[in-house]
């Protein structure tokens, strides 16, 4: 049976969908224990992006709207799968399963009734119908049901990729949210992983509001501004930053309203100065987490779209002078492919009846098999 899997990831940045086709029987670039045969990215069209963004906060007739957004997302996922298979010259029948993350619109594990929920808009049945490939979806709910955060789920994959005896290493994913995996920081085999806070989500939003365009390319606008120490200190007083792991977050907390609340105090700074301060907030909160949880770390691998933000990288480097920061490209996996590959890996774990969560990361009561199965026939 084939060991080819597709991973589809659309994260909090709401930029679009990354998809990879991965062969787990072959060795890849560098020392990678898998071969990424191909990668494709498709942007959200503006109406879908706006609707997914709107579904992050309470609004009118959301069950109906979320169902239709799920259909639209499944069609986009299917289009990406078709494109990926075509460019890789691989027939769909060679793919064992697709791991389709869906779009997180609410993430409140442990809240309200003590169990809480995590909601990914998705329509895996339609994806199976359109692609004729089996689909694994809803990776997070089982971990939440077991008392966990349901996030981050990528640390198990980072461990499989990078853990070495006597080696303390970190992986920092700079998506909409920043999540950090620390391997070996508390002895061999130990894994810590959690969401630090915002990576790009506030930077993107502020840039879109004042400059248009999806994001601040290379962080050039942020680099032109001056960090406002009072604003930075106010934002850093957010209680989430001081919480011990396990913890995870999303747009539920870090959104434009959160930023506006902090800006409403005191004289409004120039827009570029706010952007600089937001970049510093990302760097500062991450650096504090690295120092608090893994002061022995010497290598920090960067992935997610924020790895291309030169200004953000420079700010991080200034705050972590003893740490070597490098893109995951150097280990054979470009930054845009890491998360999607992790969901191909998690789909494979499901198919092989293996558990996918790490209790040291999510805080779940025990290891669980993650996902739900949508057969193609």
Ligand X SMILES: Nc1ncnc2c1ncn2[C@@H]1O[C@H](COP(=O)(O)OP(=O)(O)O)[C@@H](O)[C@H]1O
Provide the binding-site residues for Mg ion, judged by CB under 5 A.
11, 13, 15
Q: Please give the order of strands across the beta sheet that includes 135-137.
A: 35-43, 16-23, 4-9, 95-100, 135-137, 372-374
Q: Which is nearer to ligand X, 176 or 332 (CB)?
A: 176
Beta-carbon neighbour count of residue 1 at 10 Å? Answer: 5
Closest to 124 measured CA to CA, from 150, 86, 149, 97: 97
Task: Choose between 146 and 303: whose C-beta lies nearer to ligand X.
Answer: 303
Q: How far out from the chain centre does Cα 293 lie?
A: 20
Query: Which string of x and - marks every residue 2-21 that binds ligand X (by CB under 6 A)?
Result: ---------xxx-x------
Q: Which of residues 171-230 bind ligand X (CB under 6 A)?
A: 175-176, 200, 204, 215-219
Smallest gap from Cβ 139 to Mg ion, in A, equals 16
Binding mask 84-123 for ligand X (x = CB under 6 A): ----------------------------------------
Q: Say whether the peptide bond before residue 264 is cis (omega within 30 degrees of 0).
A: no
Partner residues linked to 116 by β-bridges: 109
Instruction: With residue 9 as reference, give the H or E element that holds it.
Output: strand 4-9
Q: Is beta strand 103-109 parallel, antiparallel or unpaired with respect to 116-121?
A: antiparallel
- How many residues make contact with ligand X (CB under 6 A)? 19
Judged by beta carbon, residue 189 or residue 213, the one nearer ligand X is 213
Site for ligand X in 19-48 (CB under 6 A): none
54 vs 214, beta carbon nearer Mg ion: 214
Decide whether 76 or 231 has the Cβ nearer to Mg ion. 76
| Nearest residue (CB) to ligand X, 127 versus 342 | 342
Q: Is 170 one of the binding residues for ligand X (CB under 6 A)? A: no
Cis peptide before 328 (omega within 30 of 0): no
Asked if 159 and 346 count as a contact pair (C-beta separation under 8 A), the reply is: no
Of 47-55, 67-75, 82-90, 299-307, the window that binds ligand X (rule: CB under 6 A) is 299-307
Residues 107 and 151: their CA atoms lie apart, in Å, by 9
**Residues at the site binding ligand X, with contacts judged by CB under 6 A:** 11-13, 15, 175-176, 200, 204, 215-219, 304-306, 308-309, 339
């Amino acid at each position: 049976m084939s060991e080819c899997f597709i991973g589809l990831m659309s994260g909090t940045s709401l930029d679009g969908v990354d998809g990879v086709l991965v062969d787990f029987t072959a060795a890849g670039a560098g020392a990678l224990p898998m071969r990424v045969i191909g990668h494709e990215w498709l942007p959200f069209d503006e109406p879908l992006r706006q609707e997914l963004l709107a579904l992050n906060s309470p609004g009118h007739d959301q069950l109906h709207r979320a169902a239709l957004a799920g259909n639209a997302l499944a069609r986009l996922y299917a289009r990406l799968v078709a494109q990926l298979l075509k460019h890789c010259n691989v027939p769909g029948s060679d793919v064992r399963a697709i791991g389709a993350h869906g779009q997180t619109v609410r993430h409140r594990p442990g809240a309200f009734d003590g169990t809480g929920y995590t909601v990914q808009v998705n329509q895996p049945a339609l994806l199976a119908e359109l692609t004729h490939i089996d689909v694994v979806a809803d990776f997070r709910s089982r971990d939440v049901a077991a008392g966990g955060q349901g996030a981050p789920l990528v640390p198990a994959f980072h461990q499989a990729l990078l853990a070495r005896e006597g080696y303390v290493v970190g992986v920092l994913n700079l998506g909409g949210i920043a999540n950090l995996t620390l391997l070996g920081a508390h002895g061999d085999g130990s894994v810590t992983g959690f969401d630090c806070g915002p990576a790009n989500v506030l930077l993107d939003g502020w840039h879109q509001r004042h400059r248009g365009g999806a994001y601040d390319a290379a962080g050039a606008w942020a680099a032109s501004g001056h960090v406002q120490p009072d604003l930075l200190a106010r934002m850093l007083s957010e209680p989430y930053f001081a919480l011990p792991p396990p913890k995870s977050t999303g747009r539920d907390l870090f959104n434009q309203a959160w930023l506006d609340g902090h800006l409403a105090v005191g004289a409004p700074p120039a827009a570029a100065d706010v952007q600089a301060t937001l970049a510093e907030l990302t760097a500062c909160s991450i650096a504090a987490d690295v120092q608090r949880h893994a002061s022995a770390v010497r290598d920090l691998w960067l992935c997610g779209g924020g790895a291309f933000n030169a200004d953000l990288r420079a700010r991080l480097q200034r705050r972590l002078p003893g740490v070597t920061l490098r893109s995951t490209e150097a280990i054979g996996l470009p930054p845009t492919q890491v998360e999607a590959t992790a969901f191909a890996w998690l789909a494979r774990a499901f198919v092989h009846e293996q558990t996918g969560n790490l209790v040291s990361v999510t805080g779940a009561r025990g290891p669980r098999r993650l996902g739900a199965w949508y057969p193609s026939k």
